[in-house]
Amino acid sequence: MLASLSIRDVVLIERLNLSFGQGLCVLTGETGAGKSILLDALGLALGGRGDSGLVRHGADQATVVAEFDLAARGASGGLDHPALALLREQDLDADTTLVLRRTVTADGRSRAFINDQPVGVALLRRVGETLVEVHGQFDTHGLLNPLTHRDLLDDYAGLAPKRAHLSGLYRAWQAAEAARADADREAARAREEEEYVRHALSELDALDPKDNEEEALAEKRAVMMHREKLVEALTGAAGEISGERGAERAIANALRHLTRVADKAAGQLDPLIAVLDQAAAEIGEAARTLQVMAGDMDHDGASLEKLEERLFALRACARKHGIGVSGLATLRADFARRLSLIEDQGDLLTRLAKDAAEAKQAYATAASSLTEERRRVAGKLDRAVMAELAPLKLEKARFVTAVEPVGEAEWGPGGSDRVAFTVATNPGAPPGPLAKIASGGELARFMLALKVILAQVGTVPTLVFDEVDTGIGGAVANAVGERLARLGAGLQVLVVTHSPQVAARGQQHLNVRKRVAAGKTTTDVVILSPEERREEIARMLSGAEITAAARAAASELMAAG
């Protein structure tokens, strides 16, 4: 609720500090006293339009500070209030006490703060709309905004769980549609490049690249490029081992000499003979290996051309695709996978289209069911509002909650329909939007009737009614006062009124006065005592001269209220 309002240098208000309580607070005063200035100041703190015209003549800037106590209502202690959620979204400090401050300088510059944290005016306005709802002859927000009507009807009917379920179905449908659309785009791209993929894959299949093939080929090529020198060296080495004066013959001669006398050495030559035998075997193996290698290399000369052709083909293919030779095998597998997807995409698209269709049908079925629920509850709401209209001198008016289907392009998480509160003030006339059909005074009373019915489903803790009793009196004014008091039992209600019947029901009474001193006009607001309230209500009953009869009538009204 609005706990306090501090105003400095706004139009005719020089300095003003007000405290507010729960329930119904009435503001009265003679015409021109400045009641509208008070509401303008509050509107400025809530993010309303600010310009230099609001700055008191001679002052540098106007300042308005509005303090709200969100813990004053609600079992959660106010911690779940939408205003706090908005602040948390912006990473701003949020507590159940909110202080909204707005300044406007004489040259029109404006600044906004929430709990002494600088904020944009747009955020201040969004927060303000969750804290105070203003209903008056020129109101264009709150209940007059058709975008709020569907949620209000759902809250009134207790349909929030079904709406949340529908929102989940809508998200699932949209996700399925997005997956299908992505697959369609991927398929289109795949079809465009199918010829290229097939050609590239056939080239890679023909080339048949192997892992680490480039390194092996390069190593072998380096060896083969020095074939002649290597063959010469191998042949020379083989000659040194196996020639007339080679190692094989020398070891064989040595063994022959030793074996002739071995039996005379009492076994002492046996280890030496064994070593020479081993050496002869290894020398023989080395000689055979040299001969084989020399022979192989001598015959590999013709294959160097093929090896180089293979190596250069691999490198050319790698350059063509902008990768290294080592990535060709992986690229081949990727092309094969893409071609498989292209060939299989028909089945995938069919499955995704089926999923999207099923998700859409699930949403449409739930949305249609919710629409029927809304239509059923709309009739109940209409009857409840109509019951409130007759005592408010709107007995000829009709209130109709229109629930109409919308095209698929307008379907959303909230449903496939549009809800609008409409009225017809003359018999036989078709219902139309509240703001266009009702006159200023009628509009405020329509808003009052609606708020009485919807009071328990809103989250805005403070309601302001600006001259809701315009053009009425007697029993109708008394009916207005009775409904405002009913609202005040659960909400904080501020009403600007000229009706003594309304004023008499206030739990707090503020009197707006204009005074002139030293050639300067200022507006003050005074909280009236019970006796002062009686005098003010008597003035409202009788005019400039307050009579004993007026005082007696005021006492009766206060006692009845």
CA dist., res. 257 & res. 88, Å (int)? 105
Name the phi and psi angles at 399, rounded to 5. Answer: -110, 125
Burial label for 194, CB within 10 Å (0-12, 13-18, 19+), is: middle
Instruction: Give dist(CA 417, CA 404) in Å, integer.
Output: 5
pLDDT at residue 75, as a whole number: 41
Using the 8-state DSSP alphabet, how is residue 106 labeled?
Answer: T
Tokens of 190: 């795949």
Q: How far apart are CA 505 and CA 493, in angstroms?
A: 12
pTM (two decimals): 0.64
Where do the DSSP E strands lie in 82-140? 97-105, 110-114, 117-119, 132-135
The distance from CA 251 to its chain's CA centroid, rounded to whole angstroms, is 92
> What pLDDT, on the 0 to 100 scale, is given for residue 451?
84
CB contact at 8 A, 363 and 169: yes
What is residue 300's predicted lDDT score, i.e. its pLDDT? Answer: 55
Strand pairing report for 132-135 and 520-527: unpaired
The pLDDT score that the predictor gives to residue 415 is 96
Rg for the chain (alpha carbons), in Å?
48
Q: Report pLDDT for 218.
A: 79
pLDDT of residue 138: 47
Give, for all 561 residues of the chain, the pLDDT tens digit: 999 999 999 999 999 999 998 899 999 988 777 788 888 899 999 998 888 889 998 899 999 999 999 886 554 456 778 888 899 899 888 888 999 999 999 998 999 999 999 999 999 999 998 899 887 654 545 577 788 899 889 989 999 899 999 999 999 999 999 999 998 887 788 778 888 888 999 999 999 998 888 888 877 777 666 666 766 676 777 777 877 777 788 888 888 888 888 888 788 888 888 888 888 888 878 878 877 777 666 555 557 778 888 889 999 999 999 999 989 999 999 888 878 777 777 788 889 999 999 999 999 999 999 999 999 999 999 999 999 888 888 888 899 999 999 999 999 999 999 999 999 988 888 998 877 776 666 777 888 888 888 876 766 889 888 877 777 778 888 888 898 998 888 889 999 988 999 999 999 999 999 888 877 888 989 999 999 999 999 998 887 788 899 899 999 999 887
What is the bridge-based pairing of β-strands 508-517 and 23-28?
A: parallel
pLDDT for the residue numbered 141: 52
